[in-house]
Amino acid sequence: MEDSTLKRFGVSMEGHLLRKFDHLVQQKGYENRSEAVRDLVRDALIQQSWEEEEQIVAGSILLFYNHHQRNLLDELTKVQHDMHDFILATTHFHLDHASCLELIVVKGKAKDIQQLSNKLTSLKGVGYGKFTVAPVEQV
């Protein structure tokens, strides 16, 4: 039986992060923080569910990084070569003297693609990584 009653809990975060979150809440038109948190939790749960599936998915891995970080480019290349069967295309952009954005288009079993994303986004020097995925319908 599903429990649909609202439960209250507390969340602690740094002041600067809360101010940014409040700005996001206002910008996206949420009536309150709770609505925004619920959406974030739903999104995280959907993303998590793909990890446990054998389903074929397609998506993208977005990476922002400092290309001056020692050994980072070699590590990024090694991970991508080790898992090349899942990579359809990559695009690399130079944002400024030190910052790069890389977009990697991927396809494969959800758990494999999530593993690739985790390996790339956890490398030292990657400032931000985002994995976006959608199921691929079987023909």
Domains in the chain (CATH in brackets) are 15-51 (1.10.1220), 56-135 (3.30.70.1150)
- Residue, of 94 and 50, whose pLDDT is higher: 94
Query: Is residue 81 part of an annotated ligand binding site?
Result: yes
Query: Is residue 68 part of an annotated ligand binding site?
Result: no
22-26, 38-42, 126-130: the lowest-pLDDT one? 38-42
CA distances from 68 to 85, 92, 95, 126 (A): 28, 15, 13, 11
Query: Is residue 67 part of an annotated ligand binding site?
Result: no
Residue 48: per-residue pLDDT: 67
Decide: helix, strand or coil at residue 68. coil
Residue 133: per-residue pLDDT: 83
d(CA 129, CA 102): 10
Task: Give me 95's structure tokens.
Answer: 């944002």
Query: What tens digit of pLDDT does each residue of 77-136 get?
Result: 999 999 999 999 999 999 999 999 999 999 998 889 989 999 999 999 999 999 988 767
Residue 52: per-residue pLDDT: 60
Beta strand spans in 6-135 (E): 56-66, 87-94, 99-109, 126-135
